[in-house]
């Protein structure tokens, strides 16, 4: 089963969260996506209620814990309404393993806000204030420093819903909007297939006029730069005449 967020890696854990409408969601995701979601939980208003690690296999659906059994201890913590809530570090790691002050574990403890609840680390806190964020793209992606940029693995084409993985797997675009949604991928595929990514063929019917108008506008700009206003006036009249012609624009 593939991760439901990136659709590239295998699903290794389950993520429980509340979306913006307050509804509880259950997502089967890979570790990288889970960590990224945790890192941005506060920014996005997502409450990560529990994470179950299941060694890479498809996690089983949550079961009701039986009292007195080990499963009861492993069950996700619930709030007063019985809905799963976010675990604290102490709950996740165990009461006995609370970091002791003055040791390395204290320094490694997750940062807490004023209420003592864990909060998201900044990049500077994670790597130390003296260090710059990593240059490695996978590390930056893990920290979410490039989340939401074009050609992201999570981005879906608004026209057909395809992802980069879908297009790479098939070697085919699924709709014209894929080319503008994934510009880097488009350029790469065209360079591989045709060693060229700029069209130099016949213009489509009706676009010859647009090409001529663009050429006239370039000449107009050059005439203005060299202060040849008579030529600029003549070119402007020619441009307006061309724009007034009927024609088909693709």
Interface residues toward other proteins, by CB under 8 A? 159-162, 170-176, 179, 186, 189-190, 192-207, 210, 248, 250
> CB of residue 67 vs other proteins: minimum separation in angstroms?
50
Q: What do you get for the CA distance between the two ends of the chain, in Å? A: 43
Cα–Cα nearest to 18, from 89, 80, 112, 83: 83
Residue closer to other proteins by CB (options 14, 167) is 167
Strand partners of residue 177: none
> CB of residue 161 vs other proteins: minimum separation in angstroms?
8
| Eight-state DSSP code of residue 204 | P
> CB of residue 188 vs other proteins: minimum separation in angstroms?
9
Tell me how far apart the alpha carbons of residues 91 and 76 are, in angstroms, rounded to a whole number: 10
> CB of residue 43 vs other proteins: minimum separation in angstroms?
33
Q: Is residue 101 helix, strand or coil?
A: coil
> The tokens of 194 are what?
């045709």
Compute the half-sphere exposure of residue 8: CA atoms within 13 Å on the CB side of its CA: 14
> CB of residue 201 vs other proteins: minimum separation in angstroms?
4
Q: Is residue 35 helix, strand or coil?
A: helix
Residue closer to other proteins by CB (options 46, 210) is 210
Tell me how far apart the alpha carbons of residues 101 and 2 are, in angstroms, rounded to a whole number: 41
> CB of residue 187 vs other proteins: minimum separation in angstroms?
10
Residue closer to other proteins by CB (options 170, 228) is 170
Residue closer to other proteins by CB (options 64, 198) is 198
Tell me how far apart the alpha carbons of residues 237 and 113 are, in angstroms, rounded to a whole number: 66
Residue closer to other proteins by CB (options 60, 246) is 246
Q: Rounded to an integer, what is the distance from CA 146 to the centroid of its chain?
A: 7
* Cα-based distances in Å from 34 to 67, 76, 121, 151: 29, 16, 15, 20
């Amino acid at each position: 089963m593939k991760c439901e967020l990136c659709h590239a890696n295998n699903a290794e854990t389950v993520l429980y969260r509340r979306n913006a409408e307050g509804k509880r969601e259950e997502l089967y995701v890979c570790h990288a996506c889970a960590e990224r979601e945790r890192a941005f939980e506060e920014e996005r208003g997502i409450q990560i209620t529990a994470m179950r690690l299941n060694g890479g296999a498809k996690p089983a659906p949550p079961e009701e814990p039986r009292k007195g059994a080990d499963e009861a201890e492993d069950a996700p913590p619930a709030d007063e309404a019985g809905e799963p809530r976010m675990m604290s570090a102490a709950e996740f790691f165990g009461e006995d393993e609370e970091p002791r002050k003055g040791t390395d574990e204290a320094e490694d403890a997750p940062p807490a806000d004023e209420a003592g609840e864990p909060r998201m680390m900044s990049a500077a806190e994670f790597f130390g204030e003296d260090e710059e964020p990593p240059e490695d793209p996978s590390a930056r992606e893990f920290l979410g420093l490039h989340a939401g940029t074009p050609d992201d693995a999570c981005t879906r084409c608004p026209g057909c819903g395809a992802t980069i993985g879908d297009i790479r797997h098939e070697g085919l675009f699924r709709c014209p909007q894929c080319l503008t949604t994934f510009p880097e991928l488009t350029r790469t595929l065209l360079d591989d297939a045709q060693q060229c990514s700029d069209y130099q063929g016949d213009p489509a019917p009706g676009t010859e006029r647009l090409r001529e108008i663009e050429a006239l506008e370039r000449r107009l700009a050059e005439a203005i730069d060299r202060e040849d206003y008579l030529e600029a006036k003549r070119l402007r009249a020619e441009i307006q005449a061309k724009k007034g012609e009927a024609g088909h624009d693709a």
